[in-house]
Homo-oligomer: A and B are copies of this chain.
């Protein structure tokens, strides 16, 4: 079994380096299903393929928008989308978290641990890695006698691009 790199293509800002993994997400999910006596269905295939076709953050609604419509080939009902997203999380393929009320999903399998910067203007999520943060988290945890399972850190603010366009807009407003 060859070690292959699962390439997560990111159309927007360059994200973090993918991790070498021995299975594609598709293969990993098949493995997950088999070990639990669950079935491989066309719907699950459609969803794995769509979700791992590119690297970004999304919610259930956005995913449904990208899938074939009712009546079209490979249509998947939204009930199944919700059910399958939960399976992806259970299988360790995806992580989910809450942001402004909505449930956001992102790749976990084949992707390094990281945290987020959230631009409240354009609502984009940016990723960053910080060993210092993890270390700090571990220290805080042991100070409080916590057995740590993980953490979630989101920095809120306005991104570089939005700061620029805001400045531009202001100048224009004066004209």
Residues of A within 8 A of B (CB): 98-99, 101, 117, 119-120, 126, 128, 130, 132-133, 136-137, 140-141, 143-160, 163
Give Cα A147–Cα B164 distance, bound, in whole angstroms: 11
- With a CB–CB cut-off of 8 A, which chain B residues contact A128? 140, 143-144
Give min CB distance, A72 to chain B, whole Å.
32
Are A141 and B157 also in contact (CB < 8 A) when A136-B136, A147-B163 are? yes
Q: Which of A99, A120, A144, A163 has the most CB of B within 10 A?
A: A144
Of the candidates B98, B119, B156, B159, the one whose C-beta lies within 8 Å of that of A151 is B156
**Could you list 27 examples of A-B contacts with CB < 8 Å?**
A98-B98, A98-B101, A117-B141, A119-B146, A126-B144, A126-B146, A128-B140, A128-B143, A130-B140, A132-B136, A136-B136, A140-B155, A141-B157, A145-B159, A145-B163, A146-B157, A146-B159, A146-B160, A148-B155, A148-B157, A149-B156, A149-B158, A151-B153, A152-B154, A152-B156, A153-B153, A153-B154
Of the candidates B146, B158, B159, the one whose C-beta lies within 8 Å of that of A117 is B146
